[in-house]
């Protein structure tokens, strides 16, 4: 384990940087041969690849990412990979599968010794996917079986990424896990500062994999049963967790972990699966994996020779396809003016704008750009009300807002466009809405399109199309513009929802019985804040990835350099917000402490050294007094050193000019069961309200442009997790005293 928290953080950053550069995972040569053989056929159709794609993690991740960008929801009961492949452009699918990397020496390990063979990890992933699907079919009312299969197949993409990005390091991790009988997660955290579950989650978000798959990748090594009680969508992680255990018990493949598989009974009971059902799944699992292995051609002889022969045959066809791609590129260039519309709309959005204001902005621009008649944009109402908000744009861009009522037994969004894009004749579906608008739409010329966000309609757009005979010519353009609007409106609605969460939370933690006049929020409030942080990050990640992805697609179209620069800024700000979300998640779910007996003097010295690095202050005026009867505390040294360093950093910042003294004392408390640390400065101090909020995430008394305000929040969180207590007493102009109680035994 690294000696200092800073080393752990640095290692984690380096690993995340290395894996984040991966655009896809690599596939074995045997699978590549199967792909080339089918793609090179003259009558190729994407659905011909369905059985290979759904059996190979790298290809499945690649295609699910592609399908997700087209707004498809994996959790939809009607989802079929084969059907959706044929709906996608064949060239787009072939480009996606042919652009993945190919690794050689498939039957050898990373170091030539088979530790573990990549084939073993692939077989393990197949087993978990098949097992997860079988489990989900039993508990179908809780988890979609298709989503469960792909979540199981992709649950270890973090390990595949480590194999591709840093094969020697991963080989050593597996060797250590094998020799010590540990899980790879434990060894990864020790050497890398993070584990494959976190890395897999980050890749899933980058590749825009379905949210259910991302959750399972992230949480399948966590207390999934406890999490799913408050977050039902995390139940899929329980399914994958149980499937992983069953696959390991059956000895199919090799996961790279060598700890004993945990018991299946608690998770099975939580999901409502009986012992006989679980035994039946075990009996069928080996045969299911064998069928998938046969599809991939993993056991065929002379796979390398077949691969090179097929590549040679396919080269001529790909050369011909290059001409088609050139023509397609020309078509895209002629359509670039259409993207100016969506670009200008994105650049006009105020991040704090209410959803109704964003809707009005878009509806006015739609009318002007497409030269339509009257326009109406309305939102899907919440489950608690039959009222919906709408924006009406009459001629000459005159707009107004309205509140409309959805009649009982009526769906506000017609079923054909609830989850997929289509252009409908409005008068055939929403006469109830026209009756309430108070304007005379030309019903024969009025069209209706959905505004989709993450595969689900958040609203709809009605407009008068003066040239209805040309509707097919406009369909793709309407689809693109409406998808951008849906993504932005979905993000605005999610932000509005988070603001509501925050306001409710502020009420919760502001109750008199939960706070003290001079101290920070108590431990219960920190737990509540952590729960809110996880929920907020979960809600915001999907809209952020959609916005960033749309901005990237628009930036790739040749056009105005200034607009490209604006789009680049949108992407950078989206990434910055993503970093804030990562901060929330690390606050909400930090690494579990590993307490040991830690020398108090050494711990304080390391905290001062870490403070030097954090603040770039070479000489800190710290006075330390340790009572004779104080020797050690029983804590996770790394977490408490980080916490104390954050407290000292705050003390340093309290001095406006010359660096004043900071006094630290350590003495026994609570009959020797506790050690009391007192950290006092004579700086500017804080008033009662500031003191009360000091440990809340992102709170700071500094003006805009400050740091993110997580220092004392992390300190309080780490101290709490280690069984300690933090109190703050402060007075403006008289300094601040932070008291920390830590377990001595």
Q: Is residue 314 part of a domain?
A: no
User: Which residue's entry shows tokens 């584990």?
Assistant: 195
Q: Quote the pLDDT of residue 545.
A: 63
Question: Do β-strands 27-28 and 102-103 pair in parallel, antiparallel, or remain unpaired?
Answer: parallel
* One domain, residues 120 and 63: yes
Helix, strand or coil, per DSSP, at residue 482 = helix
Tokens of 587: 């606050």
606 and 582 together in one domain: no
Residue 732: left if φ>0, alpha if ψ -120 to 50, beta else—which one? beta
Residues 648 and 706 in one domain: yes
What are 272-301's pLDDT values in tens digits? 899 999 999 999 999 999 999 988 887 766
How far apart, in whole angstroms, are the C-alpha atoms of residue 590 and residue 577?
Answer: 19
As to burial, measured by CB atoms within 10 angstroms (0-12 exposed, 13-18 middle, 19+ buried), residue 605 is middle
The span from the CA of 653 to the CA of 659, in Å, is 9
C-alpha to C-alpha distance for 448 and 376, rounded to whole angstroms: 9
Q: Residue 357 contacts by C-beta under 8 Å, 6 or more apart in sequence?
A: 350
Asked whether residue 65 is assigned to any structural domain, the reply reads yes
Are 250 and 127 in contact by the 8 Å Cβ rule? The answer is yes
Q: Are 445 and 477 in the same domain?
A: yes
Q: Quick check: is 524 in a domain? A: yes
Q: Does residue 223 lie in a domain region?
A: yes
Residue 404: Cβ within 10 Å count: 19
The answer to whether residue 638 is domain-embedded is: yes
pLDDT digits 0-9 by tens, 214-243: 988 998 888 877 777 777 778 898 999 999
> Residue 22 domain-assigned?
yes
Domain boundary among 565, 588, 611: 588
**Spatial contact of 246 and 233, defined as CB atoms under 8 Å apart:** no
DSSP letters, 100-116, are S-EES-TTS-TTSS-SS
Tell me the residue range of the domain where 484 lies. 339-588
* Residue 286 tokens, joined: 């080996």
For the chain, how many structural domains are there in total?
A: 3
Q: Is residue 327 one of the residues assigned to a domain?
A: no
Nearest to 541 by CA among 208, 304, 229: 208
Residue 425 is part of a domain; what is its CATH number?
A: 3.30.450.40
Specify whether the backbone of 114 is left (phi greater than 0), alpha (psi in -120 to 50) or beta.
Answer: left
Are 79 and 72 in contact by the 8 Å Cβ rule? The answer is yes
Per-residue pLDDT of 358-401, as tens digits, reads 999 999 999 988 888 999 999 998 877 888 999 999 977 788 99
- Rounded to 5 degrees, what are φ and ψ at 137? -65, -30
For residues 525 and 425, state if they share a domain.
yes
Rg (the chain; Cα; Å): 29
Select from 554, 588, 622 the last residue of a domain: 588
CB count within 10 Å of CB 101 equals 13
Where a domain ends, among 588, 613, 631? 588
DSSP 219: H
State the CATH number of the domain containing residue 671.
3.30.565.10
Alpha-carbon gap, residue 272 to 745, rounded angstroms:
41
The DSSP code sequence of 370-439 is HT-S-EEEEEPPPTT-SEEEEEEE-GGG-EEEEEEEPPTT--SS-GGGSSS---EEGGGT-HHHHHHH-S
Structural contact between residues 239 and 120, judged by C-beta atoms closer than 8 angstroms: no
- CATH number of the structural domain spanning residue 223: 1.10.3210.10
- Which helix (H) or strand (E) segment is 681 a member of? strand 674-681
Q: What is the reported pLDDT for 415?
A: 93
Q: What pLDDT does residue 249 have?
A: 92
Q: Which of 227, 186, 160, 217 is nearest to 26 (CA)?
A: 160
320 in any annotated domain: no
CA dihedral 187, 192, 197, 201 (to 10 degrees): 180
Residues 375 and 492 in one domain: yes
Check residue 267 and give its pLDDT. Answer: 87
Specify whether the CB–CB gap between 220 and 244 falls below 8 A. yes
Same domain, 572 and 625: no
Pair (489, 602) in one structural domain: no
Tokens encoding 440: 């005379």
Q: Based on the domain organization, do 512 and 554 belong to the same domain?
A: yes
Q: Judge if 112 and 260 occupy the same domain.
A: yes
Give the chain's residues under pLDDT 50.
1, 3, 106-116, 334, 509-523, 703-707
Q: Using an 8 Å Cβ cutoff, are 740 and 676 in contact?
A: yes
What per-residue confidence (pLDDT) applies to 516? 40
Do 273 and 231 have their domain in common? yes
Whether residues 451 and 433 share a domain: the answer is yes
DSSP string for 530-575: HHHHHHHHHHHHHHHHHHHHHHHHHHTS---HHHHHHHHHHHHHHH
Query: How would you list the strands of the sheet with 375-379, edge to edge?
Result: 399-405, 387-393, 375-379, 456-464, 446-453, 424-425
pTM above 0.85, yes or no: no
pLDDT digits (tens, 9 = 90+) for 488-527: 998 888 888 877 766 665 555 444 444 343 444 444 555 5
Where are any strands of DSSP class E within 267-412? Answer: 375-379, 387-393, 399-405
């Amino acid at each position: 384990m690294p000696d200092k928290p800073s080393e752990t953080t640095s290692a984690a950053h380096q690993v995340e940087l290395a894996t984040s550069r991966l655009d896809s995972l690599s596939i074995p040569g045997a699978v590549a041969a199967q792909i080339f053989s089918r793609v090179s056929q003259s009558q190729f159709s994407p659905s011909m690849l369905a059985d290979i794609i759904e059996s190979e993690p790298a290809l499945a991740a690649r295609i699910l990412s592609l399908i997700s960008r087209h707004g498809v929801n994996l959790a939809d009961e009607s989802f079929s990979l084969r059907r959706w492949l044929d709906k996608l452009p064949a060239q787009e699918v072939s480009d996606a599968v042919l652009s993945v990397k190919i690794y050689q020496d498939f039957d050898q390990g990373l170091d030539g010794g088979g530790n573990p063979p990549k084939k073993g990890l692939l077989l393990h992933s197949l087993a978990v996917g098949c097992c997860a699907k079988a489990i989900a079919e039993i508990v179908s009312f809780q988890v979609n079986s298709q989503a469960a299969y792909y979540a199981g197949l992709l649950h270890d993409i973090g390990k595949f990424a480590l194999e591709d990005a840093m094969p020697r390091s991963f080989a050593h991790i597996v060797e250590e896990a094998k020799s010590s009988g540990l899980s790879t997660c434990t060894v990864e955290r020790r050497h890398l500062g993070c584990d494959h579950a976190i890395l897999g989650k980050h890749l899933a978000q980058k590749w825009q994999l379905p949210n259910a798959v991302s959750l399972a990748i992230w949480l399948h090594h966590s207390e999934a049963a406890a999490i799913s009680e408050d977050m039902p969508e995390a139940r899929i992680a329980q399914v994958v967790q149980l499937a992983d255990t069953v696959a390991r018990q059956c000895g199919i493949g090799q996961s790279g972990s060598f700890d004993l598989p945990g018991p299946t009974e608690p998770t099975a009971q939580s999901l409502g699966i009986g012992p006989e059902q679980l035994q039946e799944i075990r009996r069928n699992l080996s045969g299911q994996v064998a069928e998938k292995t046969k599809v991939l051609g993993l056991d065929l002889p002379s796979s390398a020779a077949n691969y090179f022969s097929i590549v040679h045959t396919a080269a001529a066809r790909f050369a011909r396809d290059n001409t088609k791609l050139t023509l397609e590129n020309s078509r895209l260039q002629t359509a670039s003016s259409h993207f100016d519309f969506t670009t200008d709309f994105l650049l006009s959005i105020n991040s704090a704008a209410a959803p109704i204001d964003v809707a009005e902005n878009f509806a006015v621009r739609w009318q002007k750009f497409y030269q339509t008649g009257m326009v109406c944009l309305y939102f899907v109402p919440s489950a608690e009300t039959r009222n919906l908000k709408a924006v009406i744009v009459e001629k000459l861009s005159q707009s107004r807002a309205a509140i409309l009522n959805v009649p009982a037994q009526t769906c506000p969004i017609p079923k054909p466009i609830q989850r997929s894009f289509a252009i409908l004749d409005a008068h055939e579906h929403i006469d109830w809405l026209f009756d309430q608008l108070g304007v005379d739409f030309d019903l024969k010329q009025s069209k209706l399109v959905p505004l989709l966000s993450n595969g689900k309609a958040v609203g709809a757009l009605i407009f008068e199309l003066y040239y209805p005979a040309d509707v097919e010519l406009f369909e793709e353009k309407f689809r693109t513009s409406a998808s951008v609007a849906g993504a932005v409106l979905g993000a605005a609605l999610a932000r509005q929802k988070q603001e509501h969460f925050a306001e409710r939370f502020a009420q919760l933690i502001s109750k008199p019985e939960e706070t003290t006049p001079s101290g920070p929020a108590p431990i219960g409030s920190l737990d509540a804040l952590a729960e809110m942080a996880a929920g907020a990050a979960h809600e915001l990640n999907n809209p952020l990835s959609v916005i960033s992805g749309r901005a990237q697609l628009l930036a790739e179209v040749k056009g105005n350099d200034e607009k490209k620069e604006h789009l680049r800024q949108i992407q950078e700000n989206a990434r910055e917000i993503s970093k804030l979300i990562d901060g929330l998640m690390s606050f909400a779910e930090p690494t579990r402490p590993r307490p040991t007996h830690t020398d108090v003097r050494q711990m304080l010295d390391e905290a001062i050294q870490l403070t030097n690095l954090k603040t770039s202050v070479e000489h800190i005026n710290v006075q330390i007094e340790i009572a004779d009867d104080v020797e050690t505390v029983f804590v996770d040294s790394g977490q408490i050193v980080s916490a104390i360093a954050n407290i000292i950093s705050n003390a340093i910042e309290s001095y406006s000019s010359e660096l004043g003294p900071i006094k630290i004392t350590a003495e026994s408390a609570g009959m020797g069961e506790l050690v009391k640390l007192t950290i006092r400065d004579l700086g500017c101090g804080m008033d009662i309200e500031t003191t009360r909020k000091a440990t809340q995430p992102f709170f700071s008394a500094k003006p805009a442009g400050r740091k993110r305000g997580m220092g004392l929040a992390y300190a309080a969180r780490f101290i709490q997790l280690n069984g300690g207590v933090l109190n703050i007493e402060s007075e403006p102009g008289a300094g601040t005293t932070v008291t920390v109680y830590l377990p001595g035994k």
